[in-house]
A and B are shown apart, each in its own frame.
Chain A
Amino acid sequence: MAALLRLCLRPVPRRLLLLLPREPAGLSRAASSSGPASSVSPSALAGPSELPPGFAGAQPPEVNLYDQNPEYHGFSADPVVDVWNMRLAFFFGISLAIVVGSTFVHYLPDHG
């Protein structure tokens, strides 16, 4: 048992290391459980230092749209479309559907 432990602690000879398959640095991060046909070719993968600057998460950078348009209503980055969307939503949603709709429902004859 002690001899086995000493064996584990000994550094591995260089010639044995040379027998291991070589991999590009980027591939050593993750092991794919699917077959080789589905894995990306080594040339397409890059190590962490070679990733394009905006890569992380691949999300577009977050922009506070209130900076570009102080009157931003939450609908669209284009100010004209934003205002018209807001107007249409309020008109059809509140003025027509809620106000006119509830008046209509109120004046329905009783049933039951």
Chain B
Amino acid sequence: MLKILLPTIMLFPTTWLTPMKWLWPISLTHSLIIALLSLTWFKWDSDIGWNFSNQYLAMDPLSMPLLILTCWLLPLMIMASQNHMNSEPIIRQRIYLTLLISLQSFLIMAFSATELIMFYIMFEATLIPTLIIITRWGNQTERLNAGIYFLFYTLIGSLPLLIALLTLQNSLGTLSMITMQYSQPSELLLWADKFWWTASVMAFLVKMPLYGVHLWLPKAHVEAPIAGSMILAAILLKLGGYGMMRIIIMLNPLTKELAYPFIILAIWGIIMTSSICLRQTDLKSLIAYSSVSHMGLVAGAILIQTPWSFAGAITLMIAHGLISSALFCLANTNYERTHSRTLLLARGIQIALPLMTTWWFLTNLANLALPPTPNLMGELLIISSLFNWSNWTIILTGLGVLITASYSLYMFLMTQRGPIQNHIPSFIPSHTREHLLLTLHLLPMLLLILKPELIMGWT
């Protein structure tokens, strides 16, 4: 664990001591080496239990794919930000990279924390660099509102979680995840226990986000610069899913009755948010609502707590992380050329940038869960387990899959097909950097098609 964490922390002096000309190549190289080393985490010594552990940090089949995705994403964020940061003063470029690296460090510590309070502290700590990235480097004045929504929605959810964790510490004597699974389930019979249950899951439901408390997400995703959108969509939402999967083992037997309204909200949210996608005029907003829709499936799966649903949730989290990050990168390639996110203003791009259309096509196919992508594997497992839980859910999840296919195709056809806009005389050709960025998103997806059991958790 430390052989990844310490090199990540050493990225701070790398960023501040590298000469100006070589800042971005050196940080990119350093982060790619860390990403390469993180692949050793795939080595698994035991079927269950914890690996690569020390006193405070450890890894298990749930956190391992998320950690590797976190380490993989930093070089991609650095590559995606290089163009729009070129015109900034060198100090600000270094600060930007410092914020990304600090996010990375907090995320590694959050996913590998063995103790719930450490997880909570790292969960909260990720808010600060993200807030600074959104509010300082966002492009429109709405970024301030977006930052406020982002910060306060998450804080309002997570402060009750702190109280709940301290209560749990009081009753159990420890918050170590390693021993929690063996502790006696507490009798949760009082009214106060229902509030405690809600306090425990609300923070993660807001983070995921659950439909109903999702309003921060479209604002934050749209107003953030590309690296902010990538990290938000790919990893920070999954913090919510991961946290819920950790804490929900302690919440039985109350989950059976109290989870109902949240499962219904999650599944209904799939339909609502995917329908909203069909009405969006802003490309990044469309992708953001698509994330809410996919996370609705994950939220429903985690709340029903079956082995297949957990496997589906983990698979969909990783697959969605790669694909939504790729979609934001594609939207950014449009934005850097047209300075507009409006779908109608950037149509017919296939004529101008035909190679980029290939990436748009593949990414949209993965987004609509085309076989044999891991997106489909995750969705199938989740939909099957929800059907087993209640047969009626198939109507909503089936409709959700249909609408997902509709808006993904709509996104592709609106951006790529149709007449090219007259007000744009020419497009700057696609850069090698952009093609490499999308390759590095889609090649891991291809490899996961061949070996999906890497990201399926305890199966």
Give A contacts to B, CB under 8 Å: 59-60, 64, 66, 72-78, 81, 84-86, 88-90, 92-94, 96-98, 100-102, 104-106, 108, 111-112
Contacts and interface: CB of A to CB of B under 8 A. Distances in A.
Contacts of B46: 111
> Which A-B residue pairs are the 4 nearest by beta carbons?
A74-B431, A74-B433, A92-B32, A73-B432
Contact of B433 (A59, A75, A81, A104): A75
Interface residues of B, number: 42
Given A74-B82, A85-B24, A86-B432, A102 B36 contact: no
11 contacts: A73-B433, A74-B433, A76-B25, A88-B32, A92-B32, A92-B33, A104-B39, A104-B40, A108-B42, A108-B44, A112-B47
- Binding site of B, secondary structure by majority: helix, strand, loop or mixed? helix
A42 to B, nearest CB: 24
A37 B82 CA distance: 38
Contacts of A73: 431-433
Interface string B212-248: 0000000000000000000000000000000000000
Interface string B314-325: 000000000000
A72 B35 CA distance: 26
Nearest to B459: A112
Contact of A75 (B25, B29, B40, B87): B25
Nearest to B43: A108
Contacts of B79: 89
A75 B25 CA distance: 8
B138 interface: no
Contact of B24 (A75, A106, A108): A75
A112 to B, nearest CB: 6
B25 A81 contact: yes
Interface string B125-166: 000000000000000000000000000000000000000000
B75 A76 contact: no
Contact of B39 (A60, A84, A105): A105
Contact of A93 (B32, B87, B458): B32
Given A89-B28, A89-B32, A98-B443, A105 B436 contact: no
Interface string B22-65: 10110011001101100110111111000000000000000000
A97 B431 contact: no
A105 B444 CA distance: 12
Contacts of A74: 82-83, 431-434
Interface in B395-418: none
Interface string B54-98: 000000000000000000100100010011001100000000000
Contacts of A94: 436, 439-440, 443
Contacts of A64: 428
Interface string B360-380: 000000000000000000000
Contact of B429 (A66, A77, A81, A104): A66
A111 to B, nearest CB: 4
Contacts of A60: 87
B256 interface: no
B206 to A, nearest CB: 31
B22 A97 contact: no
